Structure 1
Amino acid sequence: MHTRRDLLAAGAGAALAGIAGTAAAQTYEPGCFKPFSASTKTIQYPARKGPYRIALANGYAGNSWRIQMIKSLKAYAATPEIKPHIKELKVVSTGTDVAAQLGAIDNFINAGFDAILTIAVSPTSFKPVIKRAKDAGVVLIPFDNVLDTDEVIQVNEDQFEMGRLMGRWLEKNGVTSGKVLEIRGLPGNSVDRDRHLGFREIMEKHKGVQIVEVVGNWDDGTSQKVAADAIAVHGRFNGIYTQAGSNGTVRALIEAKHPFVPIGAEGENGFRKMVYAHHKDGLKGASAAQSPGLVAVALKAAVAALQGQKLPQYISVPIPYVEYPQMAPGKNFYPELPDTFYVANEFPPCNINITAPDIMKQSEGNT
């Protein structure tokens, strides 16, 4: 009879061996779990009998995206597809301190959890905890803010491409010279870094562009303040890219009586409502959404990995993107929902559709 330690050691070895594969090999539900590129490796763990103990080790929880993400996890975990596979679901948010997040992950490993989902506070500090998870046979799945590693399964949208999309949007609307306001996200996170680099790749081709960079923490209130301060100091901008906190960015323009300019922004319901209301006044907006529902894809991947399915090491989720001529109430924004609600929560290839009422009725607290 095999002990749990025997099975865990076998799992660690199998996962490591699986990394040598390529995404061209047959993988589970390829329509849902799409490899990031043709060279993406695969990972496969030995099947483990469910139901499973699964944890979320979140970091920062101080903006509407993170709150909706936690609620989305709880909502998806309660669906008929997933609920039978989950024995226990724990959620903890540790703030922006790397050591605190690593400590939470270690606690879950030591407590015998089968899988741990995480939004990494830092993309570069996880090597020791990755090894500890692997040695214990624990499936560790970073999503959204992912890690600079190919040793674990990860789930994300292409953040470089999201930044490029916003740069191309400004180009398309004639923003190739003058001042451009770039409102960045939470410092130290891979999403902020990669979007920034993608945006700069496009914008820096235009020598006449002067970029003013501020930090909005992906938060409406912070973004509104830093945008207002930038307008007060620098005057008129020809275009804006705001990673999130998009509602606050537009409010800053309105309150400062700054002319509407092309804006590339996130997927907040309020931003799309305001663009729809003001596009004839010059508010030309593009919205590329990093869905809080990524957590559902990560949870589905964790269950599949625990069942022994072969998955791409880096799972790429398509970017939900819409420009102002296509924004329409009831289609890609919803007048009855809060401005802070992120509207892209459907992943048809994964059979995931988390409805707004199901999300809104959940709590965002630790469990």
Structure 2
Amino acid sequence: MRKSKPLAVMLGAVSVAAMTLGAARAETFKPECFSPAADNKKTIQYDAKKGPYKIALVNGYVGNDWRITAIQSAKAWGARPDNAKLLSDFKVISVGNDSAAQIAAIDNFIAAGYDAVVINAVNPTAFDAVVKRAQKAGTVLVTFDNVLDSDKIVQVNEDQFELGRMKAQAVVDGIKAAKGDVSGQVLEISGLPGNSVDRDNHEGMRSVLDKYKGLKVIQVVGNWDAGTAEKGTADAIATNGKFDGVMVQEGAIGALHAMQAANHPVVPIGVDAGNGTRQLAAKGKYPGVTAAQAPAMAALALEASIVLLEGHALPQKVFLPIPNKANADLVSGTDYFPDLPPNFYTTTGYPQCFPPFKPDELLGQNASNNG
């Protein structure tokens, strides 16, 4: 790939310059993988540093299947021989839903001379000071999934607004096909409050739902957790009766179990792509879509940190494609796996970036700290 030349404005060890989207596509590393978001305005490039590298991933909350798989993906990435030879030290830790603890962990890795720290942020707004400290120390920071509201570091994500919009649109289309109009009430199971992903998914859903005055939206917090989503769905059905459509950010297997337990009719759903979710969606013939915020994004963020340490330029705001499939088109053995656990995540990588993980690569890792 063509390597970008040093850019104009120096911030510590990093060069940053505003440029057009077209220029970003032409000049950045491996654009078929690290594609700039539509509103990307900058590239980021660091001076090349000789490896092997010391890299850490600092996660926040880990109490759901998605986060567990993200940590497994990170460790599986580090275990691949081509990556392992680039690493002199590789730590993966989770600190809980506490921004102060996460910032302290990042500072500890900066002070210990780590070359890069990858972050799934507890919230999007509390990290400006630690970003400055990292720049001063020459430490590369990359965020993924729950990214920071900052244009000073590379963000690796999917379009969270579009992910929410896609799910809501599938539900609205299903309601219209069933009833001839878009009316009634729908259930929105949101994520973990205070995170950018929760905010952006919610806003994407509402960009569709708010167009229809005949729709009543009941929202409950799901924390991206199957158990929480199950209880929230059961309570919502008990309080409000049946729904005409259901949208879940993550943990939809719980919502579907609650619907089945309540003998809720089959309605359009816009949900995640977990193995158990897709099994239930296919077996129950639920109209709608399963769309993934793929946990393997953690590995892509680690890959991005290596790219930056090697001196290549990346878009400041990377958007990966959203893996999705209409529920009517789900195929056993390809889109979901009856012989694997329900909490296995079916989208195990981004083929345009690196070979997707095989199930045994992920299932052979755990989610415990190794820091």
Query: Does TM-score exceed 0.5, indicating one fold?
Result: yes
The one-character-per-residue Cα deviations of 1:98-132 (angstroms, maximum 9, x if unpaired) are 11111111111111111001111101111111111
1:174 match: secondary structure: helix
The one of 186, 189, 194 equivalent to 2:195 is 189
Measured after TM superposition, the shift of residue 78 of structure 1 is 1.1
Partner in structure 1 of residue 4 of structure 2: none
**Is residue 2:16 matched to residue 1:13?**
no
1:76 match: secondary structure: helix
How do 1:281-296 residues align onto structure 2 when only pairs under 5 Å count? 283-296=286-299
The one-character-per-residue Cα deviations of 1:44-99 (angstroms, maximum 9, x if unpaired) are 00000001000011100100111111111111111122111111111111111111
Greater mean alpha carbon deviation, residues 337-346 or residues 44-53: 337-346
Partner in structure 2 of residue 95 of structure 1: 96
Partner in structure 1 of residue 329 of structure 2: 326
The one of 303, 308, 312 equivalent to 2:311 is 308
Percent identity, aligned pairs only? 47
* Equivalent residue letter for 2:319: S
The runs of 5 or more residues in structure 2 that have no matched partner are 1-8, 177-181
* Equivalent residue letter for 2:66: W
2:93 match: secondary structure: strand
The one-character-per-residue Cα deviations of 1:235-285 (angstroms, maximum 9, x if unpaired) are 011001011111000000000111111110011111111111110xxx224
Measured after TM superposition, the shift of residue 11 of structure 1 is 8.0
Q: Distance in 2 between matches of 1:242 and 1:39?
A: 28
Partner in structure 2 of residue 6 of structure 1: none
Q: Distance in 1 between matches of 2:324 and 2:30?
A: 24
TM-score (norm 2): 0.93
Measured after TM superposition, the shift of residue 12 of structure 1 is 4.2
Partner in structure 1 of residue 6 of structure 2: none
TM-score (norm 1): 0.94
* Equivalent residue letter for 2:142: I
* Equivalent residue letter for 2:153: V
How do 1:1-367 residues align onto structure 2 when only pairs under 5 Å count? 12-15=11-14, 17-22=15-20, 23-37=24-38, 39-174=40-175, 176-279=182-285, 283-367=286-370
Q: Distance in 2 between matches of 1:39 and 1:51?
A: 30
1:156 match: secondary structure: strand
The runs of 5 or more residues in structure 1 that have no matched partner are 1-9
Could you list the structure 1 runs, at least 4 aligned residues long, displaced by more than 4 angstroms after superposition.
none
Change (3 A) 1:14 1:104: closer
1:141 match: secondary structure: strand
Q: Distance in 1 between matches of 2:220 and 2:314?
A: 38
Backbone CA RMSD of aligned residues: 1.4
1:357 match: secondary structure: helix
Q: Distance in 2 between matches of 1:163 and 1:150?
A: 23
Measured after TM superposition, the shift of residue 296 of structure 1 is 1.1
